[in-house]
Structures are given as C-alpha cells and as structure tokens.
Amino acid sequence: MAAFSSVPLVSRRPLIIFIATLFIAVCIFIAATALELAPNPIPAVTSAIKTQPLSAAARNESLGFGEIVYISMPYRTDRQDAMTLVASTTGMKIKLIPGVDGNDIHVKARPDFTPENMAASALGCWRAHADAWRYMLDSNLETMLILEDDLDWDVNVHDIFEHLSEEMQHNPLRLDPQTARERLAAPYGLDWDFLFLGQCLDSPNPKRSDLFHMYKDDNMPDIDHQIHELKNTERKFGLSEKMIAEYRVLAPTWGPACTMAYAVTRQGAQRLLTWLSYMGLSAPVDNDMSFKSQSGHFHGYDLLPPPFGAWRVEGIKDSDNLRFEKSKPLSGNGNRGGSSLNVKNSARKRLQEMMYANTWNRYDKAFPKKSDEEINLSKQKGKLGYK
C-alpha cells in the first residue's frame, strides 16, 4: 500500500504545476487588462523605474525628457549629419523639425502685431519653434527638449542632466508643492513652462537677484571656456570667480537670448503658442520669450552656464542668418577648426578621435609582421596568405 500511495503523488505534480501556471497566466492577463483600460493616457510607470531614483531617467536616450527634437533648415544636410553623429555617439536620439524660410510664410499667417521690419530669418525662426511646440502638443509628451542644429555638448551629458534632475526635484525655488505625478514620473518637475539650456546672453531680474539656487557640478567648463557675458550674469547674482568656476546656477527666467537649447512642458508649449502666436508676436522668438517672462506671462528657469554651446566654424557655413553672411568665405577649416564654449569635454572634438579606426597599427599588434625571409620561405612552400 505504501508503494501504491506514492504513485498518485508523483502523477499529481504536473497537475499542480499546470494549475500554478494557469493561475499566473490569469494574473498577468488581469494586470495587462487593467493597464490597457486605465483612463490615464500617460504611459504607466513600471516598477523598474519606481525602484530607481527618478533622476536615473536622465541617462536615457532623451535625457529624461519625453523626446528631443532639433530644428534645421532642410538644405543644411551637413549640419543634420553632424547632429545625428554627435547624438549617436553620446547616447541620444534626436528628431528633425524642419526649419522655415520666413519668405514662405503667407502674409495671412504672420502673427498679428509682428513688427513690419522683422527680418524674414527671424520670422522663419519663430515659425520653426512654433512648429516644435505644436508637434509637442500633438504628441503624448509631458516634456520635450528643443535644440538648434549647430550645437556642441559634453561627452558626460547624461551625468550633467542626472545631476540637474536631482537638483530640480529638490528645487527650493518652487512656487507650488510637488504633485503626485511629478514625484512619480517627472525627472525635472513640471512646475515650469520652459527651461533655458543654451542661451548666449542672460540677466537676472534686477529686483530679485536673490532668487537662484546654485549647486556644485563635476562637469563644469573651465572658467576661461565660459561665455564672457554669462559670467557677468553670474556676477550680478553675487557669485565670486571661484563660485563661477565650480557651481551651476538655476534661476527664474528673466533675460535670456538665443534659443539654441531649451526644454518645454505641455503647459509651456500651450503658453508659448498662446502668447507668441495666437495673441501676436512682438519681437524675434527669443526676445519675446524673454520680454514675456519679464511681464510674468511665463514661468521659466535658466541654467548657467548652460550645458549646450554653439559649435563655431569659420566662414558663412557658420550661420543661416543672411545678415551675417556678407563678405565671408564659404568655409575656413570647417569642423576640423571648430570650437565651442561652455563645454568641458567636447563631444564634437572627441568624435574625431572616436571615429579613427587605427586599422594598420592594430593589425601590426595583433599579427606581428613576418620577416621577408619567412615570407619567401612560405611562398616556396606554396603557403600564401596569413596562416
């Protein structure tokens, strides 16, 4: 009997495994259905992200923003090649938003109150940025980073943004407490319209230069490689030369110029389309963003020094703004002679080293060259090729 009773136990084991598997499958099905039917259109946050700090998202291909786009005139395929290269070698994914020739904008599509004398290039620039804001609102994104096409950045860009994310999650300048959504899934918070990350000029609110937050950063550009005007801005906040060399400054947007790099939130894109299109346009896009920050229509932050800098090459290739193209050669030393400010370890400069395959030196190391005698000997034996 003892031998008999052990038989059903063994034969029952597959049944137990089958039932357990079925149970797990049903659980997965129920969980999947629940996710599918969730009313929130924003993608669910997986448990993998929950167990990591939010700032870890800055290490992903869009630096923790929903997406990265860049604006480039359709004919500047040279710059598009370059942007794709630099992005691909620094772990970033970028999407092209075509630039616009201001002359192609129909007179009826010009925003109301646009100054008569606004240059076509400035109008085209505004339109391309407006297209980017619109793209963001048409997509299911909470934040988006907008770049122009002549940029350089640091090889450690992910470290820089991870640190920025940590600081912004503990941002002492917040006007409202963090929402549950921000705590769950917004690496940079969502309490801003735009975040300036590539300005060429800036100034603090002269009445509120006490409003800033500074933090030490390991990837600070050498003080001699910071834009002169932006160092002056930091002096206006009261920073010493030593602090300017070691700290980044986060401050409410007041007087930035240049739209080389900035992030927007959905609310930011809505406000931008409202105040810089629907209600009219009073100046070139960067100036109008600055003016309407000063009048309180926008709530932005500026990072100083900004992590994105212009990649300068000589000649008229350097700019797509016709006003600067007079009497210059087409190109000097091109990208070989290029340089940038505000970047400690230039991704553009590293690119040249990275892309050199060093083929023949590597062959000589891996397969030491035979002597002529050895080669003759093997030829006599009819042995050709490397053996």
Ligand X SMILES: *[C@@H]1O[C@H](CO)[C@@H](O)[C@H](O)[C@H]1NC(C)=O
Minimal distance in Å, beta carbon 376 to ligand X?
A: 4
> Using CB under 6 A as the criterion, what x/- string covers residues 87-126 for binding ligand X?
------x---------------------------------
- Using CB under 6 A as the binding rule, whether residue 140 contacts ligand X is answered as no
Please pick, from the candidates 228, 357, 373, 380, the single residue that binds ligand X as defined by CB under 6 A: 373
Instruction: Please report where in the chains the tokens 């003080």 appear, as a residue.
Output: 223
For residues 80 and 72, what is the distance between their CA atoms, to the nearest angstrom?
A: 7
Q: Kindly tell me which of 68 and 82 has the beta carbon lying closer to ligand X.
A: 68
For residues 170 and 94, what is the distance between their CA atoms, to the nearest angstrom?
A: 28
- Using CB under 6 A as the binding rule, whether residue 46 contacts ligand X is answered as no
For residues 275 and 59, what is the distance between their CA atoms, to the nearest angstrom?
A: 33
**C-alpha dihedral sign at 245, 249, 255, 257:** positive
Q: Kindly tell me which of 58 and 341 has the beta carbon lying closer to ligand X.
A: 58
For residues 180 and 268, what is the distance between their CA atoms, to the nearest angstrom?
A: 19
Amino acid identity for residue 227 in this structure: I
Q: Kindly tell me which of 43 and 238 has the beta carbon lying closer to ligand X.
A: 43
Q: Kindly tell me which of 61 and 325 has the beta carbon lying closer to ligand X.
A: 61
- Residue 302: which of 217, 226, 233 has the closest Cα? 233
**Element containing residue 379 per DSSP (H, E):** helix 372-380
Minimal distance in Å, beta carbon 9 to ligand X?
A: 49
Residues 48-77 that bind ligand X (CB under 6 A): 57, 60-62, 64, 66
Residues 186-225 that bind ligand X (CB under 6 A): 187
Q: Site for ligand X (CB under 6 A): how many residues?
A: 12
Q: Kindly tell me which of 59 and 328 has the beta carbon lying closer to ligand X.
A: 59
Please pick, from the candidates 6, 88, 321, 376, the single residue that binds ligand X as defined by CB under 6 A: 376
For residues 272 and 297, what is the distance between their CA atoms, to the nearest angstrom?
A: 9
Q: Kindly tell me which of 123 and 168 has the beta carbon lying closer to ligand X.
A: 168
Asked if 303 and 250 count as a contact pair (C-beta separation under 8 A), the reply is yes
Which phi and psi (to 5°) does residue 234 adopt?
A: -70, -35
- Residue 191: which of 213, 171, 167, 208 has the closest Cα? 171
Q: Is 188 helix (H, G, I), strand (E, B) or coil?
A: coil
Segment contacting ligand X by CB under 6 A, of 27-35, 106-114, 353-361, 368-376: 368-376
Cis geometry, peptide bond prior to residue 305 (ω within 30 degrees of 0) = yes
List the strands of the sheet with 68-72, edge to edge. Answer: 95-98, 68-72, 143-148, 261-265, 194-196, 300-304, 247-252, 213-216
- Using CB under 6 A as the binding rule, whether residue 246 contacts ligand X is answered as no
Q: Kindly tell me which of 86 and 281 has the beta carbon lying closer to ligand X.
A: 86
For residues 184 and 49, what is the distance between their CA atoms, to the nearest angstrom?
A: 9
Residues 287-306 that bind ligand X (CB under 6 A): none
Q: Is 126 helix (H, G, I), strand (E, B) or coil?
A: helix
Minimal distance in Å, beta carbon 133 to ligand X?
A: 18
Segment contacting ligand X by CB under 6 A, of 161-169, 195-203, 211-219, 372-380: 372-380
Instruction: Determine the distance from the C-alpha atom of residue 344 to the mean position of all C-alpha atoms in its chain, rounded to a whole number.
Output: 17
For residues 242 and 265, what is the distance between their CA atoms, to the nearest angstrom?
A: 33
Q: Kindly tell me which of 64 and 221 has the beta carbon lying closer to ligand X.
A: 64
Minimal distance in Å, beta carbon 74 to ligand X?
A: 25
- Helix 77-89 to helix 347-354 angle (10° resolution) is 80
Q: Kindly tell me which of 58 and 276 has the beta carbon lying closer to ligand X.
A: 58
Please pick, from the candidates 116, 138, 176, 372, the single residue that binds ligand X as defined by CB under 6 A: 372
> Using CB under 6 A as the criterion, what x/- string covers residues 147-186 for binding ligand X?
--------------------------------------x-
Q: What's the chain's length in residues?
A: 387
Minimal distance in Å, beta carbon 265 to ligand X?
A: 12
Q: Kindly tell me which of 296 and 382 has the beta carbon lying closer to ligand X.
A: 382
Instruction: Enumerate binding residues for ligand X (CB under 6 A).
Output: 57, 60-62, 64, 66, 93, 185, 187, 372-373, 376
